[in-house]
Structure 1
Amino acid sequence: MKKAICFLLGLLLGLQVFSQNKKDLVYFTTGLKIGEVTENSAVIWTRLCSQPLPNPITHQRKKAPYRAPLKYKNNQPVDELDGEVSGAFGEVKVKLISKNHQVELDWEFVSSLKDYTFKKAIKNLEPNTTYKVEILGRKHTRIRKKDKVTKPKKTSTKIVGQFTTAPSKNDIVPVFFTSSTCQYFWDYDDEKRGFKIYDAMKKLQPNFHCQTGDFVYYDKPGPMALNIAQARMKWHAINAWPASVDFYNNVPLYLQKDDHDLLSNDSYPGMQPFGEITYKDGLSIWYEQAPLVGKPYRTFRWGKDVQIWLLEGREFRSPNHLKDGKDKTIYGEEQKKWFAKSVKKSDATFKLFVSATPVVGPDRVSDKSDNHANIAFKKEGDWLRKFLKKHDMFVLNGDRHWQYVSKDTKTGLMEFSQGPSSDAHAQGWSPDDKKPEHKFLRVAGGFLGVKVYREKGKPTIEFIHYDVDGNEVNKEVVKK
């Protein structure tokens, strides 16, 4: 009897210890992101979480396009929403390890003020070097007891990834990167993994990835993001898909925002709030969740043959409804001057303009007025197309929910539209409506790949459209 009682007491004690330890655990459920990679720097982003898996999906979805959840109650507590991942107060520590170099940061606290996110720019890295990323996390209650601060919990969690820094600007090396846009959480096409494109792109082993906006959709159901907590939840859910975690843990990211990542459709400074979210709130959340620091317009060099420009199309624009003229702008004068100067200074073989919105189009005439392919911004659009063509640039654009290759009938400027991240999100254009500008048209989901290499010393660039499964559906080849 004594042995039985001791066994039961031991079992109960063991369960209590297990329960206590479980409460002490933290996780990196929403993964990590490696942003803004140059030849000697990178931005590391992650978020400390209190649960190992996101909340399960319990709602059925309507038919495509936009497979919004059925019978969804927008006023549910945020921590009960499908896909939500709660954050955790604690500390984060980052290590970057290469064959000959190691960078180790001190432990740093994360808290609810910035949604338990961690973001740090790391410099003095070596060019064209592969770094292993190790991020440790631990819970910390920081409760004072009689003027003594409690020690951090010993239990820690770890997430790992890797990336390779950019080559030096004069190095002649092959480069391959991918680009995608428009991913509404509820238009996922793999019930376990999330979006198929991420697994398909990972197999291609890109040097880096450009995501050109509409990473989340505040103004689509599931929930409608009518307050800050709901807006943040949208990021948690989209980031926690396993395919996204596996991809971004291992592929550097250049992220741009578009209207749905900021507030609501066609958003611009001074726009009325969406629910309880102001324009400034949306901007603050964006910089909290995005793996970038500094100005939102920037350029990156990948060796002798590749340079990309990522311009900012929401922070400096004029209201869409204003009459077009010389002062109406999407980019603002400061950004335009910087862009023109940096392009003229560049000696890269191939110059690529990565845009969250179309420049060539054609776009829908009846209901769109917020990009350079629309007459609402025609004056600046005419300048931009002439400038890009003069400097022998190519446009990679997001925002449109169909894939295409277009050639401007006036300037000859070529534009490559990535298409949405899933077939369920494709809409807005008829596959039979092929315009003179179209060299390729496909109203379906997928992504774009860009391959740059030298063949017998001759620089070559390939623009490859893929479907959601990674099958090639079109290729344009340009030789210098």
Structure 2
Amino acid sequence: MSKSNRRKFVKKSGLGVLSVLTAPRLLAAPFGGPQNTALQPSKGVFFTNGFKTAEVGKDSVVLWTRLCGQEFPQPVRHQRQEKVFRHPIDFDEEQPVSEMDGAVSGATGLVRVRILDSADQTVWSSDWQQALPQDDYTVKIPVTGLQPATMYRVYWEAKPIEGGLIRKEEGSFSTAPPEQQPVPVRFTTSTCQYFWSFDDERRGFQTYDSMRRLEPDFFVQTGDYIYYDKPGPLAKNLEKARHKWHAMDGWLSLRDFYRQVPLYMVKDDHDLLKDDMYRGKGPYGDLTFDDGLKLWYENVPIQGKPYRTLRWGKDLQVWMVEGREYRSENTMEDGPEKTIWGEEQKLWFRETVNASDATFKILITATPVVGPDRDNKTDNHANKSFQHEGNWLRKYLSAQKNMFVVNGDRHWQYVSKDIETGLMEFGSGPVSDCHSQGWKEGDLRPEHRFLRLKGGFLSISVSRASGKPNIRFEHRDVLGEVVHEEVFEA
């Protein structure tokens, strides 16, 4: 479906005004006082954490939502430090979680969803699903049997178990086109977002609003969606860890973005437990590695293995890999047995890449493959700590025709070309300017083709000019302005 037809579809379905009518204002004055909403009787159920449409394929999608017991998140009450990450000032880590900035209580209830086509005909519907406390009131609904290259509308309904007012929410998405169909495609990526690094006091993050205006076909979040190990609160138990997800998903910019843009998520260390995490490193407070995995799969709309590949028409295939669940200990001596991906994932990757006839291929990884990275880091393929597997991976990727790397994790935007293999890597960059740190401005290394110590996102588009496929990588700032671009013809 063309962009103009897509806009008409969104307008017809009422999505253009929906957020204005229903979306909460986090800093709204009537909700400015602390209140223990988690302990108050539910007066219904709400979509305060929005919903996500994810893992879109040619005929399938995974839908996710969380039922909430309050219509608006708790307001942001704390001032922030004027330095990197903007940590909150005088934040009481021991206060009730229900009173913390951005808190959203859950509610037991029933939820169902319908999918409609452009003629407003229901093509798929679910039964009523229960949102229960053991799953933090989240509901995950896989859908199959859809048509490729088709725009759909998602229609959500929710109500209390005992009955009552039915809440409604709407969104839209498009399925992927057939593999041999040469269609233009645009998608965006970002990384590294901390609740307190917001740059819009009402909506949260300007980057999400800027990405939404581009109307991408899909979005890949490349890791560090939340930070358990940063204050406000430090998430050292299950309740505080869940709060991190509630507060992030309560921001208006994220809610409005996910109404219209399908999502794919890749996890990194801060999403799982703490910095440079691997199984065996030890717990974070009361949270174990397995607790972190449960929370991830509770909040992320994904089915099956955490590594997967997406084909979007004839000219693009994307691989999203898992770098935390299968890795060796970072402190292990480097050699043939030391791995970030694990042998099963490496075999899958080689087999699927070798079988692909897509014009352009992109590996999306939470951590760098080319870098350069800081000498004191030990958890990615650009470091000496995993040099053996890194050398293999760079050599293998550079041998593939028209293959590139897109990564998260680093708090700066960059483009690098590996000196030995010529492999190109594009660092997404942090979601806001005040989250940028870790590299010196002007410290250009031989690998760098672009370096910027600011926030924003990466926009990637594939199209054809006079029948020739090309791919365009655009680094953009938080307002969506292009700050650097690289274009390659197949």
Q: Does 1:90 align with 2:100?
A: no
Q: Does 1:378 align with 2:387?
A: yes
Q: Which moved more, 1:324-333 or 1:66-75?
A: 66-75
> 1:95–1:133: 8 Å Cα contact kept in structure 2?
yes
Cα deviation for residue 154 of structure 1 reads: 2.8
The answer for unaligned runs of 5 or more in structure 1 is 1-21, 141-151
Task: Determine which of 82, 103, 109 is the counterpart of 2:130.
Answer: 109
Q: Distance in 2 between matches of 1:270 and 1:441?
A: 35
Report if aligned partners of 1:64, 1:425 keep a CA contact under 8 Å in 2. Answer: no
Instruction: State the alpha-carbon separation in 1 of the partners of residues 280 and 61 from structure 2.
Output: 33
Q: 1:102, 1:270 → 2: CA distance?
A: 47
| Aligned mate of 2:151, from 109, 124, 130 | 130
Q: What do the CA deviations read for 1:274-302 (whole angstroms, capped 9, x no partner)?
A: 00000000000000000111100000100
Instruction: Please report how far the alpha carbon of residue 271 of structure 1 lies from its aligned counterpart in structure 2 after TM superposition.
Output: 1.9
The answer to whether the 8 A contact 1:219-1:265 is kept is yes
Aligned to 1:3: none
Residue 399 of structure 1 and its aligned partner are, at CA, apart by: 0.2
Helix, strand or coil: the match of 1:24? Answer: coil
- The structure 2 residue matched to 1:399, chosen from 399, 402, 409, is 409
TM superposition shift of 1:177: 0.4
Q: Which residue of 2 is the match for residue 149 of structure 1? A: none
Distance 1:243 1:411 in 2: 40
Kept after mapping to 1: 8 A contact 2:44/2:164: no
From 35, 50, 53, the counterpart of 2:72: 53
Q: How large is the Cα RMSD of the aligned pairs?
A: 0.9
Q: Deviations over 1:155-182 (max 9, x none)?
A: 1101111000000111110000000000
| Pair 1:71 & 2:80 matched | no
Residues 224-235 of structure 1 aligned to structure 2 (within 5 Å) = 224-235=234-245
> Offset of 1:322 from its aligned partner?
0.6
Q: Which residue of 1 aligns with 2:334?
A: 324
Structure 1 residue matching 2:484: 3-state secondary structure: strand
User: What secondary structure is seen at the aligned counterpart in 2 of 1:249?
Assistant: helix
Distance 2:427 2:216 in 1: 18
Q: TM-score, normalised by structure 2?
A: 0.90
- Does 2:477 correspond to 1:467? yes
The residue correspondences of 1:233-382 to structure 2 (distance < 5 A) are 233-365=243-375, 367-382=376-391
Partner Cα separation in structure 1 for residue 95 and residue 258 of structure 2:
30
| 1:32-47 equivalent positions in 2, closer than 5 A | 32-47=51-66
d(CA) in 2 for partners of 1:343, 1:181: 25
1:187 corresponds to 2:197: yes
The CA deviation string for residues 250-271 of structure 1, in whole angstroms up to 9 with x for no partner, is 1000101000000000000122
SS at match of 1:238: helix
What do the CA deviations read for 1:128-152 (whole angstroms, capped 9, x no partner)? Answer: 1111011101011xxxxxxxxxxx3
Matched, 1:120 2:141: yes
**1:5 corresponding residue in structure 2:** none
Q: What whole-Å deviation, never above 9, does each CA across 1:164-213 have from its counterpart, x for those lacking one?
A: 00001111100000000000100000000000000000000000000001
Structure 2 unaligned runs (5+)?
Answer: 1-40
Indicate whether 1:28 and 2:37 are aligned: no
Q: CA deviation at 1:102?
A: 1.3
Matched, 1:176 2:212: no
Q: Which SS does the other structure have where 2:85 is aligned?
A: coil
Letter of the structure 2 residue corresponding to residue 93 of structure 1: R
Deviations 1:202-258 (A, max 9, x none): 000000000001000000001000100100000000001000000011100010100
Report how many aligned residue pairs link the two structures. Answer: 447
AA of the residue aligned to 1:186: W
TM-score by length of 1: 0.92
- 99-108 or 245-254: which moved more? 99-108
Deviations 1:425-451 (A, max 9, x none): 000001110001000000100000001
Cα distance in 2 for residues equivalent to 1:95 and 1:396: 34
Which amino acid is the alignment partner of residue 217 of structure 1? Y
Matched, 1:457 2:467: yes
Question: What is the rounded CA distance, in whole Å, between the counterparts of 1:124 and 1:76 in structure 2?
Answer: 47
Conservation of the 8 A alpha-carbon contact between 1:24 and 1:153: no
Contact kept in structure 1, 2:42 and 2:107, CA below 8 Å: no
Structure 2 counterpart of 1:55, one-letter code: Q
SS across alignment from 1:440 = strand
- Residue of 423, 442, 449 corresponding to 2:452: 442
Letter in 2 for 1:438: H
- SS at 2:248 equivalent: helix
Work out whether residues 444 and 451 of structure 2, in 8 Å CA contact, stay in contact via their aligned partners in 1. Answer: yes
Shift of 1:88: 0.3
Correspondence for 1:13: none
Q: Aligned with 1:235: secondary structure? A: helix
Residue identity in the other structure for 2:45: V
Quick one: percent identity of the two aligned structures? 53
SS in structure 1 at match of 2:260: coil
SS in 2 for 1:394: strand
Does the 8 Å CA contact 1:44/1:122 hold for their aligned counterparts? yes
Give yes or no for contact 1:24–1:155 (8 Å, CA) kept in 2.
no
Q: Secondary structure at the match of 2:475?
A: strand
- On the 8 A contact 1:360/1:407 being kept in 2, the answer is yes
Are 2:431 and 1:421 aligned?
yes
Alignment-derived partner of residue 20 in structure 2? none
Q: How far off is 1:63 after superposition?
A: 1.4
Letter in 2 for 1:125: L
Q: Look up the SS of the partner of 1:198 in the other structure.
A: helix
For residue 23 of structure 1, report the CA deviation from its aligned partner: 4.5
Q: C-alpha distance in 2, partners of 1:190/1:344?
A: 44
Name segments (4+ residues, structure 1) moved above 6 Å: none
Measure the CA separation in 2 of the matches of 1:170 and 1:346. 12
Corresponding letter in the other structure for 1:30: N
Instruction: Tell me the CA shift for residue 120 of structure 1.
Output: 1.2
Change (3 A) 1:320 1:23: closer
